[in-house]
Amino acid sequence: MKATPVFWAFAGLQSLAAAETIAEINGNRFLSPFAGKAVSITGLLIAKGPKGIWIRSTTPDDDDATSEAIYVLSNSIGSELAIGDIISLDGEVSEYRSSDSYIYLTEITVPENVQVVSSGNAVKPLVIGKDTLSPPTVQYTSLDEGDIYNVPNGVANISDKNPVLEPSKYGLDFWESLSGELVTVKAPRAIKTPNKYGDTWVVGDWAVTGENKHGGITMSDKDSNPEVINIGSPLDGTKNPSDSKMGDQFEDITGVVQQAFGFYSILPLTAIKTTTAASAAAPPTSLISQGKCNALTIGSYNVENLAPTSAHLPNVASQIVEYLKTPDLLFIQEVQDDSGPTDDGVVTANATLTALVSAIQAISNVTYAFTEVEPVSNADGGQPGGNIRVAYLYRPGVVSLYKPNKGGADDATQVVAAQGKGKGKGKAKGYGVAPELSFNPGRVDPANPAWKDTRKPLAAAWKAKGASRPFYTVNVHWSSKGGGTSLHGDQRPPINGAVEARTAQANVTGSFIAKILDFDPTANVIAAGDFNEFAFVQPLKTFEAVSKMVELDEAVETPAEERYTYAYDMNAQALDHMFVSPALAKSKTTQFEHIHVNSWAAFNDVVSDHDPSVALFDLCG
Ligand SMILES: *[C@@H]1O[C@H](CO)[C@@H](O)[C@H](O)[C@H]1NC(C)=O
Ligand SMILES: *[C@@H]1O[C@H](CO)[C@@H](O)[C@H](O)[C@H]1NC(C)=O
Ligand SMILES: *[C@@H]1O[C@H](CO)[C@@H](O)[C@H](O)[C@H]1NC(C)=O
Ligand SMILES: *[C@@H]1O[C@H](CO)[C@@H](O)[C@H](O)[C@H]1NC(C)=O
C-alpha cells in the first residue's frame, strides 16, 4: 500500500529499528511469509476492538499489494493504549481461520514488550477509491480463471496456491491488500437486507457494475460484484440496524478491513446510521389478463415451505392478489404436505393448497383450482417431513387441463401422438400435430437418478379459453446450491453446490421438452420455476441446448441488471426463470416482469426468500 497520510514520514523512528515492517509481514500474497515466526514491529494504533488492536506501519512501502496495517490479537493489550499511540511490540505471526472453507486472516498473536513510543498522533482513515485503488468490479481472484462459475469448481485453494495479489484486477486481492487498514466508505448504500446479525452488504461512492434501478447490484455473466463489501459487527459493541434494505443510504462508514467469519468485511467503529430509506413498495405487475387465450397471464412463485398453518400463508395470498393480479395459471414451488414439517408419512397437500386458495378467494373473487402430484415421503429433499413439491393453481374458467389424467409419484408422463388424429405427411404418425401427455399432470422421468432427493418436475397440458390447441408447461424446482462455498471462500472457483446434479436435471427436463417440440416445433411450451441456478451457468446452458427453449428475459430483452428474483450476500440474482418455446419467444404479445415484493422488503416484512414473476402470452394457436 502506497503512503498517503503525512505523519508516516516520521524521522526519529529509524533508531527503534523494528526488525520487520508490517508490509514485509503481510507480504504481497494472501499468506504471510513470516507465518509462525517471531517478529518485532512498530505501528500507529488506528483502532481498538474487543479482542485486539489494529496498527498501521510507520515505514510504509510503495507496493499496492502489501497492506500497511495488521491486527494484533490480545484480550489484554488495548486498555492501557490509546488511538494515536505509536507502539512497538514483539509477537508471533499467525494465520487464522475458523473453518477450512475460509481464507486466512494474518495476525500478530502473543504480543509482548509493548512500548508506547509517542502519543497523540493523527489517525486518518484511508478513503476507499481516493486514498486507495478502487475496488475491482468483476473478478474475485486469478484462480477463478475469468469465470467464478466455471465447472468443475474447487480446482484450487487460495491457501495452497497463495497467488501474488493484483489489487487493481481482483476483488479478493484488493480487500486482502487492505487487511487491517482503517478505511472510510463514502456515501454507502445497502444492497440488500442485513442478516440476523446485522451484517450489511454495501457499496460506496466508487464505480460499480450491475447497479439495478433500486440501488442493488445484480450479477451477470462472469461478473459477481466483488466491489460490494460486508459491514460486520461494530467495534464499540453497538448493533447495526436490522431494518435496512436494498437502496437505503447510510452516513459514511469508518472501520477496519478484516477477514471475519469467511468474508472480507469492514468492522465499523460504531453502528451504521441510515440517512435515507429506500421505498419497499414494489409496483404490482402491469400485465393484465384478458380472460381468454389472446392475453393470458402466467406467474411463478417459490412460496418458501408453505404449510396449511404457515404464518406467511395469508401474505402469500395477498401478494398473489395485489401484486401478481391473480394470474390465470400460477406455477408454485415449495408447497409442503398437509402436516407441514411434521415427519409423519403424510404426503397429501390438499389442505395446504385449499388453505392458499381459500385465502386468495377471501380477498378477491377469484377461485383457483389446483393440481399436483404427491411425492413419495422424504424422497424429494427439502425440510425433512415437509415433502415440498411443485403445484399449479389455475382459473378454471380461463384454463383447463387438456385431457386430464393425473399420474402418481412413480408415473413418468410421456409425450405421445394425439389419439385418433393427425397423420403428418411423410412423418411418423402424429408428428407435426399437438401431442398429448400420457399422464396429465405427470412427473418427468421420476425414476431417473438425476432426481435423487430432489423435486421432480411436473408437466401438464392445458387448453386456454378460445384456443385451437393445447399448450404445455413444466414446473421445476431443481436441487439447491446447499453445500456450496461462498464467493469469498478459499476454494476456487467456489463450490457451486449440486451443480452436477442440476446439469443432469437440466438434461432430463430439456429432453422431455425436446420431445414436445419434435412433435410440433411450433408448440407453445413454458418451463418455469426455481431452477436454483443463474442463466449463464452450465446447467441452464445445458437446458437451453437440449430443450431448444429460450430464456424469457432474453426474449423480451429485460435489462441485465433488472434480472433478479433473490438477494444473496453481495448480489441480486436470478434463481427463478421462465423459458419458452421459439413460437412464444417470437410472439409480439409476450411480456415478462419480475415483481420485487421480497428482495426490496425489510427483514421482518419478507414473505418468501424469492420474488415472483409474471408473464403474458397469446396462447390461442
Ligand atoms: C481445498 O481445501 C479443502 C478443505 O481443506 C480440501 O477439502 C480440498 O481438497 C482442497 N482442494 C484442493 C484442490 O486442494
Ligand atoms: C381437500 O380439502 C378440502 C377442505 O378441507 C375438502 O373439502 C376436500 O374434500 C379435500 N379433497 C380431497 C381430495 O381430499
Ligand atoms: C366480488 O364480487 C362481488 C359480487 O359480484 C362484487 O360486489 C365485488 O366488488 C367483487 N370484489 C372484487 C374484489 O372483485
Ligand atoms: C443427456 O443425457 C443423455 C442420456 O444419458 C446423454 O447421452 C447426453 O450426453 C446428455 N447430454 C448432456 C448435454 O449432458
Atom of ligand 3 nearest to the CA of 364: 13
Q: Give pLDDT, residue 421.
A: 53
Would the pTM count as exceeding 0.85?
Answer: yes
Q: Give pLDDT, residue 3.
A: 46
Q: Is the pLDDT of residue 77 over 70?
A: yes
HSE of 232 in the Cβ direction (CA atoms, 13 Å)? 15
Nearest CA-CA partner of 608 in 317, 248, 370: 317
Tell me the best of 320, 363, 365, 395 to mutate to test the pocket of ligand 3, counting ligand atoms within 8 Å of each CB and taking the most. 365
In a domain, 240, yes or no: yes
User: For 287-333, how does the pLDDT look when each residue is reduced to its tens digit (9 = 90+)?
Assistant: 999 999 999 999 999 999 999 999 999 999 999 999 999 999 999 99
User: For 465-499, how does the pLDDT look when each residue is reduced to its tens digit (9 = 90+)?
Assistant: 999 999 999 999 999 999 999 999 999 999 999 99
In a domain, 216, yes or no: yes
Pair 189, 248: CB distance under 8 Å: yes
Q: In this structure, are 132 and 101 located in the same domain?
A: no
* 367 CA to centre of ligand 2 in angstroms: 15
Pair 207, 134: CB distance under 8 Å: yes
In a domain, 467, yes or no: yes
Q: In this structure, are 110 and 130 located in the same domain?
A: no
- For ligand 1, atom 12, which residue shows the shortest CA distance? 156
In a domain, 243, yes or no: yes
Residues in the chain, overall count: 621
Q: For the beta carbon of residue 127, count every other beta carbon within 10 angstroms.
A: 18
Q: Is the pLDDT of residue 6 over 70?
A: no
In a domain, 4, yes or no: no
CATH code, domain with 270:
2.40.50
* 365 CA to centre of ligand 3 in angstroms: 6
Q: Which ligand is nearest to the CA of 159?
A: 1
Q: In this structure, are 111 and 133 located in the same domain?
A: no
Q: Is the pLDDT of residue 12 over 70?
A: no
Domain termination site, one of 98, 118, 138: 118
Q: In this structure, are 310 and 269 located in the same domain?
A: no
Domain termination site, one of 97, 118, 139: 118
CATH code, domain with 63:
2.40.50.140
Q: Is the pLDDT of residue 4 over 50?
A: no
Mean of pLDDT over the chain: 95
- For ligand 2, atom 14, which residue shows the shortest CA distance? 350
In a domain, 596, yes or no: yes
Q: Give pLDDT, residue 15.
A: 39
- For ligand 3, atom 13, which residue shows the shortest CA distance? 364
Q: Is the pLDDT of residue 142 over 60?
A: yes
User: For 382-423, how does the pLDDT look when each residue is reduced to its tens digit (9 = 90+)?
Assistant: 999 999 999 999 999 999 999 999 999 999 999 999 875 544
In a domain, 548, yes or no: yes
User: By percentage, how much of the chain surpasses pLDDT 70?
Assistant: 95
Q: In this structure, are 243 and 323 located in the same domain?
A: no
E strand segments, 119-245: 126-127, 156-157, 182-185, 189-190, 200-203, 229-231
Per-residue burial over 490-516, b = 16 or more CB atoms within 10 Å of its CB, e = otherwise: bbbbbbbbbbebbbbbbbbbbebbbeb
Q: Which ligand is nearest to the CA of 369?
A: 2
- For ligand 2, atom 11, which residue shows the shortest CA distance? 350
Number of domains observed in the structure of the chain: 3
User: For 512-551, how does the pLDDT look when each residue is reduced to its tens digit (9 = 90+)?
Assistant: 999 999 999 999 999 999 999 999 999 999 999 999 999 9
What is the average pLDDT across 49-73?
97
Which residue is associated with the grid cell 485486539?
Answer: 52
Which residue is associated with the grid cell 442463466?
Answer: 535
Q: In this structure, are 472 and 606 located in the same domain?
A: yes
Q: Give pLDDT, residue 429.
A: 56
What is the average pLDDT across 72-87?
93
User: 232 is written with which cell numbers?
Assistant: 460486520
Q: What's the rounded Cα separation, in Å, for the pair 322 and 359?
A: 13
* 203 CA to centre of ligand 3 in angstroms: 47
Q: In this structure, are 221 and 103 located in the same domain?
A: no
Q: How confident is the model at residue 78 (pLDDT cuts 50, 70, 90)?
A: confident
Atom of ligand 4 nearest to the CA of 510: 1
Q: How confident is the model at residue 434 (pLDDT cuts 50, 70, 90)?
A: confident
Q: What's the rounded Cα separation, in Å, for the pair 505 and 508?
A: 5
In a domain, 346, yes or no: yes
Domain termination site, one of 118, 148, 180: 118
Q: How confident is the model at residue 430 (pLDDT cuts 50, 70, 90)?
A: low
Per-residue burial over 134-154, b = 16 or more CB atoms within 10 Å of its CB, e = otherwise: bbbbbbbbbbbeeebbbbebb
* Ligand 1 proximal residues by C-beta, below 6 Å: 100, 154-157, 160, 491
β-strand 274-276 against 249-250: which pairing, if any? antiparallel
Identify the helix (H) or strand (E) that includes residue 351.
helix 350-363
CATH code, domain with 552:
3.60.10.10
* 450 CA to centre of ligand 4 in angstroms: 11
Q: In this structure, are 508 and 562 located in the same domain?
A: yes
Pair 337, 352: CB distance under 8 Å: yes
Q: Give pLDDT, residue 1.
A: 55
Q: Is the CB of 514 under 6 A from ligand 4?
A: no
Range of the domain at 256: 125-279
Q: In this structure, are 90 and 47 located in the same domain?
A: yes
The more confident residue out of 39 and 418 is 39
Q: In this structure, are 269 and 301 located in the same domain?
A: no
Q: Is the pLDDT of residue 71 over 50?
A: yes
User: For 163-202, how does the pLDDT look when each residue is reduced to its tens digit (9 = 90+)?
Assistant: 999 999 999 999 999 999 999 999 999 999 999 999 999 9
Q: Is the CB of 364 under 6 A from ligand 3?
A: yes
Q: In this structure, are 574 and 543 located in the same domain?
A: yes
- For ligand 1, atom 5, which residue shows the shortest CA distance? 100
Q: In this structure, are 477 and 534 located in the same domain?
A: yes
User: For 561-595, how does the pLDDT look when each residue is reduced to its tens digit (9 = 90+)?
Assistant: 999 999 999 999 999 999 999 999 999 999 999 99
